[in-house]
Amino acid sequence: MIDVIKRNNVRVVGTGEQAMLLAHGFGCSQNVWRHFVAAYQTKFKLILFDFVGAGQSDLSAYDSKRYSTISGYAQDVLDIITALNLSNVIFIGHSVGSMVGVKAAIMQPAYFSKLIFVAPSPYYINEDDYVGGMDKEDLINLLTLMDSNYLGWSSFLGPQVMGNSDRPELGEELTANFCATDPDIAKEFARVTFLSDNRADLEKLQTESLTLQCSDDILAPLEVGYYIQEKASHNTLKILQATGHCPHLSAPEETIAAINAYLHLH
């Protein structure tokens, strides 16, 4: 029997009854949700975890085959929900974590009440009339740099992804997160994140969802938010004033206020 709690470094905090499960994005860990913990620990039972390879997860549990697709990570989310005997879960995912949630909700829709996507993207590559944000050649070059110089790649990409150049400490935090992730696993997870095409999944999703789209995000341009709204039934799009790819860190008050409005919280 796999110890799911140890594998994913699962933490349960908060005094509320309804479960809110928080899934971090590529190169991060559950620590990115600290502002949400402060805001929601009296309202919800918060489920925090690290994807295998990140944070304090069990590195020995990493399996290249299992985690070669988004589905492997989605199964981990379902494993956590099952292990904790949760139901009616509000799922919040950042970036690729959003698409993990989409997969999980397609696999087991009864587990979820709502999905909330923070800076999501079903596909990062510009293709035909789809605007994903990056040309494939540029993305391949970025992944090649990652292979040859992981620390240099982290130092370059962290501030770019975070945006908010007037607050360099935010970019430094993201760079530090990248550097704290096992490099070999990070290289594989990067390919799963940036090369997976999850657009077809959006039309299979029946769970209500909210997309929180930043007004300027190099990884997920505005067109992506409109695309998700169009393709996923029961999706609400909220464009934030926040910029960059990590509004839960750069603009937590605005991000939390948008979630509160969606969930009708006071």
Query: Which domains, from first to last, does the chain contain?
Result: 4-263 (3.40.50.1820)
Please identify which of the residues 98, 245, 248, 250 carries the catalytic annotation.
245
Please identify which of the residues 24, 217, 248, 250 carries the catalytic annotation.
217
Which pLDDT value is given to residue 163? 81
- Classify each residue of 89-124 as buried b or exposed e, where b means 16 or more C-beta atoms within 10 Å of its C-beta: bbbbbbbbbbbbbbbbbbebeebbbbbbbbbbbbbb
Residue with tokens 């620390």, as numbered in its chain? 151
Please identify which of the residues 29, 57, 71, 95 carries the catalytic annotation.
95
Which pLDDT value is given to residue 168? 82
Backbone angles phi, psi at 105, to 5 degrees: -70, -25
What's this model's pTM, rounded to 2 decimal places?
A: 0.95
Q: Is 155 annotated as catalytic? A: no
Q: What is the DSSP letter of 245?
A: S
Instruction: Mark out the alpha helices in 29-167 (DSSP H runs).
Output: 34-40, 70-83, 96-107, 136-148, 150-162
Which pLDDT value is given to residue 156? 78
Q: Is 128 annotated as catalytic? A: no
Pairing of strands 45-48, 235-243: unpaired
Q: Is 95 annotated as catalytic? A: yes
Which pLDDT value is given to residue 128? 94
Average pLDDT by consecutive 10-residue portion of the chain (266 residues)? 92 96 94 96 97 94 96 98 97 97 98 98 96 93 86 80 82 78 88 95 98 94 97 97 94 97 93
